[in-house]
């Protein structure tokens, strides 16, 4: 059985405050984008729990750290009769790029195992398992436009349809460490104190005409990331020069996206080595 985990972008992202547990409360809009990896699972008769293979883009880190494998073992604890599997991951979504590709793969692996082996897990139970794998994972269980708060795991579905527009995603092959980005933001402002206005504000902005987003919708990470990596800032500026209605960095970077009218012809002045996808 095979599935195709898609990525997401963040439409605005605000860091609200730092929590007692060391994590940060944030508020953002997750929006699914049809740029997808592929995950295939078949039953294995080997003695190993998971026989893992991959193709496509290189994946950093040890195989045992892969979230798809962790998803299997998480379910195996509660369903000991779950058979051994062969799991193949074909990677298309850039890694460490603010697109949630690893989280998507894990969430889709949970859903795939649930369906293939008829575990009959409800959506709420799948969300619980997903949260154990990472803060972004629950979104991909729902996989619809959502207002996200908390660490990103508190989700509220939104009526938001951007299918009338086209998206351009550009990743300059720069890895931005999320922990570093949070640390730099803490130096810039006092994120230990709560802010009350973001929740209503970001949800109000997203319901306004898209032509108003450029002036009102922002990603807090852009300030510190752009200072360290001017190349990423230049990509955003180039997208606006090409006629983007709205452009922003997704998550903590380094992917930048632009939203365009579908009839817009682009002549991007971008390094040919960058990952560029028009959707």
pLDDT of residue 227 exceeding 70, the answer is yes
For tokens 């750290």, name the residue: 65
How is residue 2 written in tokens? 């095979």
Q: Residue 145: give the domain boundaries.
A: 2-157
pLDDT digits (tens, 9 = 90+) for 72-110: 999 999 999 999 999 999 999 998 899 999 999 999 999
Instruction: Indicate if 64 and 25 belong to the same structural domain.
Output: yes
Same domain for 140 and 195? no
Q: What is the CATH number of the domain that holds 93?
A: 3.30.230.10
State residue 276's pLDDT score: 94
51 vs 16: CA distance, rounded Å: 41
Does residue 47 register a pLDDT over 90? no
What average pLDDT does the segment 165-177 reach?
A: 93
Please tell me whether residues 83 and 61 are part of one structural domain. yes
What percent of the chain shows pLDDT beyond 90?
Answer: 75
Q: Considering 125, 157, 189, which residue would you say is the last residue of a domain?
A: 157
Cis peptide before 254 (omega within 30 of 0): yes
Average pLDDT, stretch 244-262? 96
Structure tokens at 222: 């852009």
CA distance 67 to 38: 14
- Alpha carbon separation from 181 to 40, 177, 226, 238 (Å, rounded): 34, 6, 11, 23
Among candidate residues 131, 157, 183, the one where a domain is terminated: 157
| CA–CA dist 139, 127 (Å, integer) | 8
- Considering the domain architecture, whether residues 9 and 125 belong to the same structural domain is answered as yes
Higher pLDDT, residue 50 or 201: 50
pLDDT at 22: 67
Per residue in 123-155, pLDDT tens? Answer: 999 999 999 999 999 999 999 999 999 988 999
274-278 average pLDDT score: 94
Q: Are residue 116 and residue 190 in the same domain, yes or no?
A: no
Question: Is 89 found in the same domain as 189?
Answer: no
Query: What is the domain-level CATH number for residue 191?
Result: 3.30.70.890
Residues 136 and 222 reside in one and the same domain = no
pTM for the predicted model, two decimal places: 0.92
Q: Tokens in use for 44?
A: 């294995």
Domain count, the chain: 2
What is the predicted pLDDT for the residue at 194?
46
Q: Is the predicted pLDDT of residue 178 greater than 90, yes or no?
A: no
Cα distance between residue 144 and residue 202, in whole Å: 17
Looking at the annotation, which residues are catalytic?
Answer: 8, 136
Q: Are residues 191 and 122 in the same domain?
A: no
Which of 64, 74, 201 minimizes the C-alpha distance to 137?
Answer: 74
- 136 and 174 inside one domain: no
**198 and 112: one domain?**
no
Q: What is the pLDDT of residue 37?
A: 98
Question: Which residue, of 122, 139, 157, is where some domain finishes?
Answer: 157
Specify whether the CB–CB gap between 86 and 42 falls below 8 A: yes
19 and 119 inside one domain:
yes
Rounded CA-CA distance 277/279 in Å is: 6
Q: Indicate whether 148 and 18 sit together in one domain.
A: yes
Q: What is the mean pLDDT of the chain?
A: 91
Residue found under tokens 């883009």: 57
Token duo for residue 69:
């494998």
């Amino acid at each position: 059985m095979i599935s195709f985990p898609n990525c997401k972008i963040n439409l605005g992202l605000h860091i609200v405050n730092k929590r007692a547990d060391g994590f940060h409360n944030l508020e953002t809009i997750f929006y699914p984008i049809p740029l997808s990896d592929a995950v295939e699972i078949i039953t294995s008769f080997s003695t190993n729990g998971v026989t893992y293979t991959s193709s496509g883009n290189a994946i950093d880190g040890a195989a045992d750290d892969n979230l798809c494998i962790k998803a299997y073992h998480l379910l195996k604890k509660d369903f000991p009769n779950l058979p051994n599997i062969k799991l193949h991951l074909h990677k298309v979504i850039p890694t460490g790029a603010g697109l949630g590709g690893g989280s998507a793969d894990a969430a889709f692996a949970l859903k795939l195992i649930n369906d293939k082996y008829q575990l009959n897990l409800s959506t709420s139970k799948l969300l619980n398992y997903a949260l154990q794998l990472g803060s972004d994972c629950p979104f991909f269980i729902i996989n619809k436009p959502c207002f996200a708060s908390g660490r990103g795991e508190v989700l509220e579905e939104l009526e938001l349809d951007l299918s009338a527009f086209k998206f351009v995603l550009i990743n300059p092959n720069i890895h931005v460490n999320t922990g570093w980005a949070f640390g730099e933001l803490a130096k810039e402002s006092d994120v230990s104190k709560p802010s009350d206005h973001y929740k209503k504000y970001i949800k109000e902005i997203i319901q306004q005409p898209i032509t108003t987003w450029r002036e009102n919708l922002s990603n807090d990470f852009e300030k510190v990331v752009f200072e360290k990596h001017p190349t990423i800032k230049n990509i955003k500026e180039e997208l606006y020069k090409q006629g983007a209605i709205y452009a922003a960095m997704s998550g903590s970077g380094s992917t930048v996206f632009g939203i365009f009218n579908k009839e817009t012809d682009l002549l991007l002045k971008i390094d040919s080595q960058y990952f560029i996808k028009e959707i």
